[in-house]
């Protein structure tokens, strides 16, 4: 099954990003394909390389980057939402890319299931 994911919440303010990451990892482990994760609204904050959590805390941005590196999950950041929050191409963590809402629509069309995390 091909799964697309939409994340609307930031990495440390709500549980949405953690839940989405754990869901994506579990789906991949069960043999499903997570083709794209689209970060929208405050979810774009999951993509910045400027994030520096304490050493004893999880590093959510690095988790997503590792999922991209190991499984080829396309990590797309909404350009309009990113620019509103001061996130530009040069601030992105490894594995993330900026694009438009067309990528969200395309993912919804191409996915067997599309799952949204956050309001």
Query: Could you confirm whether 78 is annotated as catalytic?
Result: yes
Q: Looking at residue 93, what DSSP letter applies? A: P
Q: Compute the residue count for the chain.
A: 119
What SS3 class is residue 52? coil
Q: What angle do CA 47, 50, 51 make, to 5 degrees?
A: 75
**Residue among 78, 79, 81, 92 flagged as catalytic:** 78
**Residue 108 to residue 114: CA distance in whole angstroms:** 6
Instruction: Give the 3-state secondary structure of 64-89.
Output: HHHHHHHHCCEEEEEHHHHHHCCCCH
Catalytic residues: 78
């Amino acid at each position: 099954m091909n799964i697309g994911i939409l994340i609307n919440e930031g990495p440390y303010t709500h549980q949405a990003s953690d839940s989405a990451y754990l869901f994506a990892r579990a789906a991949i482990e069960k043999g499903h394909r997570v083709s794209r994760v689209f970060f929208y609204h405050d979810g774009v904050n999951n993509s910045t390389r400027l994030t520096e959590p304490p050493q004893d805390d999880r590093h959510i941005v690095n988790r997503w980057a590792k999922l991209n590196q190991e499984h080829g999950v396309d990590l797309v950041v909404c350009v309009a939402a990113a620019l509103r929050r001061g996130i530009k191409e040069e601030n992105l963590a490894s594995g993330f890319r900026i694009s438009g809402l067309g990528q969200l629509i395309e993912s919804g069309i191409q996915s067997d299931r599309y799952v949204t995390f956050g309001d």
